[in-house]
Structure 1
Amino acid sequence: MSKTLPIALGLVLAMGAPLHASSAEAGPKVSIQQIRNATIKVTYGGQVFLVDPMLARKGAYAGFAGTYRSHLRNPLVELPESVESVLRGVDAVLISHTHLDHWDAAAQAEIPKSLPMFVQDNADAALLRKQGFKDVRILGANTVFNGVRISKVGARHGSEEMYAVPALAERLGATMGFVFQTAGLKTVYVAGDTVWEAHVRTALGAFNPDVVVLNTGDAQIDGFNTGIIMGKEDTLRVHQMAPNATIVAVHMDAVNHMTVSRNDLQDYVIEKGIETSVVIPQDGEVIDF
């Protein structure tokens, strides 16, 4: 092997290129690039979708009050590449909900105001329009964008017990998942910030996805023993209901209230014998399907 290859590879990684040989925007018809946290780029049917962009520098924000490790500043890590690189080639942005770790001030400042922005409801649409975005669309059950069908599906950002507390229910708010479909391509289900509940089971049964993107960091708030997003055991539950799907696990290691790390999840899926069905990408990594 040439002695220059390791040096060249090191230079490429230092410059912030994706860890895969191809980039999300130049890759095959279906690919997912893990950016950081819940932020991903989905290349699908010739379109590139940026999902839940949190684009701030490391430590830009205080930790989330009333949550696990709230003394830590968010994000916990830097982006794996420049914001310019993250935004390169993006055709539209999908925002599952407007919590800081899915839609932050840096994203609001850096994303071109003319890009199509898909949100879950009128309240989020009004917020983005107030922030200056010109093409804000509410995702429906059967939305088509440049030949790609995107379907909004339900999600719940915590337990029924949590939503029974009015102040907490307001803080958790509404959120959504969504499904990408096009004839001849694998069906991709992005579950979003949700616990294991009826909407998720319905989506898995109705769409029979080939790929399921799960937020698996098991974020915890004070005073409750269950998380506000999925965790290790939920990864197994999804696999058991959709055994032929590839699970892509994200939303770990980047914000203070996550209690499950990539290493934790890797150990768990090996213990349960499902490691061939679960991909746990590093920041910047591109997965082709």
Structure 2
Amino acid sequence: MSFKSNVRQKVEYQCNNCSKVRILFISPALQSEQVAATGYQEYIDVHYCKEEYLNAIKLFVDSHYNVRSQVTVKTSKNEKEAEIKELQGFSIPIPKASSFLQYSIKSTNDFGSYNLKSLVIKDKFRQTDYHIKGEEEGEKIESFSSLEFIQIEANVSSELETEQVKRWLLSLANSLETLVVLDEELLKYLGTHLDHIIADIPSHQVMLELDILLNSTIAIPHSSQAHLDIFETHRIYIFPELSAMGYRIYKLLLNTCLTNEHKTLMQIYNEIKKEMVQVQAFPFFLSVISTLVTFGFINLEKLEFLTV
């Protein structure tokens, strides 16, 4: 695959702190409207940096996939706000650490506020507070990601077990902290999905569903004819309780992802959701995708930086 092909483009930079060369392959279809509006797009790269400490780098990438500048975002257990170094020689506005934008997220119509009453995500990378509004009642629970770049405040039903909710919020915060790009479009589904799962004990499969949701607008799913053939041959042994409706949806997803190069998971969902009769179609979609990913019938191409 050519690095300059229409299939994938390569973003490459050398970290100013540890001198590691980091690369990212990206579909041109994922270039956001921000590039057209400002001339650059922001990416976040969290990696083991100097002295093998985790560090976060904010990158400014232009329309030709060149890294125009990089900013080291530092955090400290002793400081409440992340320190953002000023850029030198490049006129990109960097907001002050205390200047947070307020962004209100309108959830999907399925958001019932049964377990999750409201949610605030404080993102220090993007200097933005995201508010998923519902009811203000309930118990307030707070969680921080490992590097404290993401802070989450949730109001939840008083009937829920506090430690269980904290596990969910910690998993959410850590997943958000590792995202190369945060697409605000997916956040309207987040409240609905958390409301659906937060009453359950966290399991590996449901944690995977949450991670897939957070990557749904930037991850590209692939299947192949070989995957389809194996599914048809072995499905009665692998999925002995699969209903006729389930079989139809599984096969529809595999066919839709066949030789897919540019459509994201969210685009796949929007394409096939009219075929899904479930009351909560998106949680069902996530469940099916996570199952197919777990069994290797779908490969999920996520945006991830690699060291070379």
Q: Normalized against structure 2, the TM-score is what?
A: 0.28
Q: Greater strand percent: which structure?
A: 2
Give the number of the structure with larger relative contact order, counting CA–CA contacts within 8 Å between residues 6 or more apart: 1
Question: Who wins on radius of gyration, i.e. which is larger?
Answer: 2
